[in-house]
Amino acid sequence: MTASHPRTSLLGTTALLFEAPGETTLATQRRIWALALEAERWDSVREAVPGMNNLMLIFADPPRRLDAFKERLVEVWSEIEPLPFDGRCIDLPVVYGGDGGPHMADVVEHTGLCIDDIIALHTSPTYTVYALGSHPGYCYLGGMDVRIATPRRKVPVLKIPGGAVSIGGSQTGVSASAGPSGWNTIGATDMTFFDVDRTPPALLRPGDSIRFKPVRLLR
C-alpha cells in the first residue's frame, strides 16, 4: 500500500481503520503511535490499536457524523510529530534449525543462501516492536533483511509451538503461544512473552526491540 494520502475505511460499525501512505518505515510508525495516544483521548474512541503503519480505532459509540470524525483524524495526522521512544532492548537466545526450526530448508531453497548466511542475516538487525497483535503477547517486528524474505507457506501448519521463530514474507516474528501459522519456522526460543498473572502481562510493548542471539545450530 503506497498511496500518497492516508486512507480511512470502516470495519463495520465497530471500528475505523486509518492507513498511513508510503513504504513501511519506523518514522511513520512513530507518528502512528503518537496518533494512537491522541485518538485514545477522544470520547468516541474506546481503543486505539496500532498495526504496521496503520491504526484501528474501536468506537466507544459509532458517531452519526462519520465524515467529521474522519476529517479530524486526517487533520491531526497531518500535524502530528513522531513519538519519541526509548524502549528497552532484549536479547533472545535462539536455537536455529533442527526440530525447532522445521522449515529452515524451505528458506534455504527459496533464498539460495546457506544456513550460516541466513542466521547471520537474521541475527544482525535490531528489530523494533511496531505493534502487538495476532495473539496474546505477539509482536510485529520491523527491520528484517529482505534477502531472507520467504513467502508464507501454501498450506498453513496447524500448530507451531510457543517460542517458534519464523519468517513470513518480509517479516519475522516469535510465536507467543502454540497455534496455527502460515509462516516458515527456522528456530526456537524459550522466552515467555505473555503471562496473564504478570503486570503488565506482555513482555514487550511498541518501541521496545529484540536482538536474536544464536546459541546453537542444529543441522
Partner 1 sequence: MIEIIEAAALATVQDLGRVGALNLGVGLAGVMDPMALSAGNILLGNEEGAAAIEIPLFPFTVRFRQSIDFTVTGADCAPSLDGRPVQPWFACRAEAGTTLTLSVPAAAAWPAARAYLCVAGGVDVPLVLGSRSTQLRGSFGGHLGRPLRNGDVVPTGVAKGTASGIGLVPPSLDIPVSVDGVPAVRVLPAAEYEAFTPEAHQRLWSCAWRITPQSDRYGFRLGGDELIPTAPLELRSHGIVPGVIQVPHGGQPIIQMRDAQPSGGYPKIGVVIEADLWRLGQAPIGSRIRFLRCTWDEALDAGAANRRWLEKARRTVSILADRRTV
Does 157 participate in binding partner 1 (rule CB under 8 A)? no
In the list 1, 37, 90, 215, the residue contacting partner 1 (rule: CB under 8 A) is 1
Interaction between residue 21 and partner 1 (CB under 8 A): no
Residue 132 contacts partner 1 per CB under 8 A: yes
CA distances from 186 to 107, 125, 149, 169 (A): 8, 16, 12, 13
Q: Hey, what's the cell of 211?
A: 536482538
How many residues belong to the site for partner 1 (CB under 8 A)?
45
Candidates 51-59, 76-84, 90-98, 113-121: pick the segment binding partner 1 (CB under 8 A): 51-59
Contact status: 201 vs partner 1 (CB under 8 A): yes
In the chain, DSSP assigns E strands to 7-11, 15-19, 45-50, 54-59, 89-97, 127-132, 139-142, 157-160, 164-168, 171-174, 179-181, 184-188, 209-218
Residues with Cβ within 8 Å of residue 25, at least 6 apart in sequence:
53
Q: Least distance from C-beta 140 to partner 1, angstroms?
A: 6
Asked whether 137 and 194 are in contact (CB, 8 A), the reply is yes
Determine contact, residues 203/81, Cβ cutoff 8 Å: no
Q: How far apart are CA 76 and CA 28, in angstroms?
A: 14
Does residue 150 belong to the site contacting partner 1 (CB under 8 A)? no
Closest distance of CB 89 from partner 1, Å: 20
Interaction between residue 58 and partner 1 (CB under 8 A): yes
Give whichever of 155 and 219 is closer to partner 1, judged by the CB atom.
155
CB of 126 to partner 1, least distance (A): 20
Q: Is 200 in the site for partner 1 (CB under 8 A)?
A: yes
- Tally the residues of the chain: 219
| Residue (of 129, 115, 118, 91) closest to 212 by Cα position | 91
Stretch that binds partner 1, among 2-10, 68-76, 99-107, 112-120 (CB under 8 A): 2-10
Binding site for partner 1 (CB under 8 A): 1, 7, 9-15, 17, 19, 24, 46-47, 49-56, 58, 62, 64, 66, 131-138, 140, 169, 171, 176-177, 179, 194, 196, 200-202
